[in-house]
């Protein structure tokens, strides 16, 4: 079975083709293509929704053709077309949903709408070292930071989530306060490699609370206060401030993840989403989980950001597990806000 996946929830247009055959352990990624809008949004210091939507319109059809050519497949050979239904920017989601449903209608093929975070959640199954159910998942994608207990495809229990800023927002907003430009997270992480992570005593909000919730708004405020205190000396201390900020974010993510493993009794942690590519996070998680006798699984670095492969993979796994059937009803809507815990079997 050939599944085409289309992702357009924010500022990346992703298209991928996955093959899932009966008796096959896991679906296989056959081809993928991705266009990022980072350069376009850089001038504005963040994503401009209208510009994002217009760019998705320009990119999606050429990317579909590129993927089909790479796989040596004709459109008529597709079996299912999957798209991101939410959460995300409404206009951007509508581009992917409209394209998928129009293409499916023209070909007489069924469609399936996929939860963006479920795509991230299941993306490590595309890696060379896939996890096995059940596991704890740390989702750190854009405006989302969540800990989930994942018992099977479609069986998700929310353990904790951010009550204000997410980890990705803490990276990006702190970077902006330091004048590092957009996208801020990778720029801050790169600068942090040159700094001392113990140079500034920054807060670790909710770290010692018994719950598994997160809060990064106070950290952002502390970075602002420290930047103002430094004044003209900020440039000289910027690497140290970046390293200290990253250390605070990573410390909270790691300790909450370890706490979730202990509370659930599970020994497998899956990390997914853009912040999952952060090397400091990966290094500390590996160290702390090893002490606990637990294993950590990640998607490949190029699959941490938004991409079509995770959407096609999630569709293939939902269909393979029998928790959802594709539909030939081509009327569609999108869900800019859509809690993952509601996306059950």
Mean pLDDT confidence for 60-87: 98
pLDDT bucket at 230, cuts 50 / 70 / 90: very high
> Is it the case that residue 239 has pLDDT exceeding 80?
yes
Asked if residue 316 and residue 292 are part of one domain, the reply reads no
**For residue 302, is pLDDT > 90?**
no
Q: Are residues 263 and 138 in the same domain?
A: yes
Does residue 215 sit within a domain? yes
Tell whether 173 is covered by a domain. yes
Query: Do 50 and 168 belong to one domain?
Result: no
CA 324, distance to chain mean position in Å, is 22
Total-model pTM? 0.95
- pLDDT, average across residues 93-109: 98
* Residue 213 CA neighbour count, 13 Å, CB half: 11
Backbone angles phi, psi at 128, to 5 degrees: -70, -20
- The rounded Cα 154 to chain-centroid distance in angstroms is 17
Alpha carbon distance 7, 92 (integer Å): 9
Tell me, yes or no, whether 283 and 163 share the same domain.
yes
210: containing domain: 132-298
Give the chain's end-to-end CA distance (angstroms, integer). Answer: 21
Instruction: Give the pLDDT of residue 141.
Output: 86
Q: What is the CATH number of the domain that holds 235?
A: 3.30.420.40
The average confidence (pLDDT) of the chain is 95
Same structural domain, 104 and 144 = no
Residue 342 has pLDDT above 80, yes or no: no
- Residue 85 and residue 153 share a domain: no
- Reply yes or no on whether the pLDDT at 294 is more than 90: yes
Whether residues 174 and 283 fall in one domain: yes
Q: What distance in Å separates the CA atoms of residue 2 and residue 4, rounded to the nearest whole number?
A: 7
Residue 308 lies in a domain: yes
DSSP code of residue 10? S
In the predicted model, what is the mean pLDDT of residues 230-235?
A: 94
Same-domain pairing of 151 and 206: yes
If asked whether residues 109 and 138 sit together in one domain, one would say no
Clarify whether residues 264 and 202 are in a common domain: yes
Tens digits of per-residue pLDDT, 127-170? 989 999 999 999 998 889 999 999 999 999 999 999 999 999 99
Nearest to 233 by CA among 302, 178, 307: 178
User: Is residue 127 a part of any domain in this protein?
Assistant: no
Q: Answer with the residue of higher pLDDT: 294 or 302.
A: 294
Name the band, by pLDDT with cuts 50, 70 and 90, for residue 343. low
Residues 88, 189 within the same domain = no
Do both 287 and 335 map to the same domain?
no
Per-residue pLDDT, averaged over 21-40, amounts to 93
pLDDT band at residue 333, thresholds of 50, 70 and 90? very high
Instruction: Read off the pLDDT of each residue in 11-23 and give the average, rounded to a whole number.
Output: 94
Q: Are 126 and 32 in contact (CB under 8 A)?
A: no
Residue 345: its pLDDT value, please?
43
Would you tell me how many other CB atoms lie within 10 Å of the CB of residue 236?
A: 9
Total domains in the fold of the chain: 2
């Amino acid at each position: 079975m050939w599944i085409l996946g289309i992702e357009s929830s924010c500022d990346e247009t992703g298209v991928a083709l996955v093959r899932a055959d009966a008796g096959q352990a896991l679906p296989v990624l056959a081809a993928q293509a991705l266009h990022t809008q980072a350069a376009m949004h850089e001038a504005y210091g963040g994503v401009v929704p209208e510009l994002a939507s217009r760019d998705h319109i320009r990119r999606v059809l050429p990317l579909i053709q590129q993927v089909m050519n790479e796989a040596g497949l004709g459109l008529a050979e597709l079996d299912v077309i999957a798209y991101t239904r939410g959460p995300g920017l409404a206009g951007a989601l509508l581009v992917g949903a409209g394209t998928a449903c129009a293409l499916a209608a023209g070909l007489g093929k069924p469609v399936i709408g996929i939860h963006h975070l479920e795509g991230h959640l299941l993306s490590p199954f595309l890696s060379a070292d896939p996890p096995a159910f059940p596991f704890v998942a740390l989702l750190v994608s854009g405006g989302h930071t969540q800990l989930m207990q994942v018992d099977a495809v479609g069986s998700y229990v929310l353990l904790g989530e951010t009550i204000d800023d997410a980890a990705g927002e803490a990276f990006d907003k702190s970077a902006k306060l330091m004048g590092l430009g957009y996208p801020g997270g990778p720029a801050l992480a790169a600068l942090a490699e040159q700094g001392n992570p113990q140079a500034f005593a920054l807060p670790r909000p909710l770290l010692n609370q018994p719950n598994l919730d997160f809060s990064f708004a106070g950290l952002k405020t502390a970075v602002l206060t420290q930047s103002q205190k430094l004044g003209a000396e900020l440039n000289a201390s910027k690497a140290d401030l970046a390293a200290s900020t990253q250390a605070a974010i990573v410390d909270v993510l790691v300790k909450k993840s370890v706490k979730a493993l202990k509370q659930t009794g599970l020994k497998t942690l899956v990390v997914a989403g853009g912040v999952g590519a952060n090397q400091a996070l990966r290094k500390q998680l590996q160290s702390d989980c090893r002490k606990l006798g637990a294993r950590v699984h990640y998607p490949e670095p190029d699959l941490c950001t938004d991409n079509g492969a995770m959407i096609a993979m999630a569709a293939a796994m939902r269909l393979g597990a029998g928790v959802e059937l594709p539909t030939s009803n081509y009327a569609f809507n999108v869900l800019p806000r859509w809690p993952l815990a509601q996306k059950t079997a």
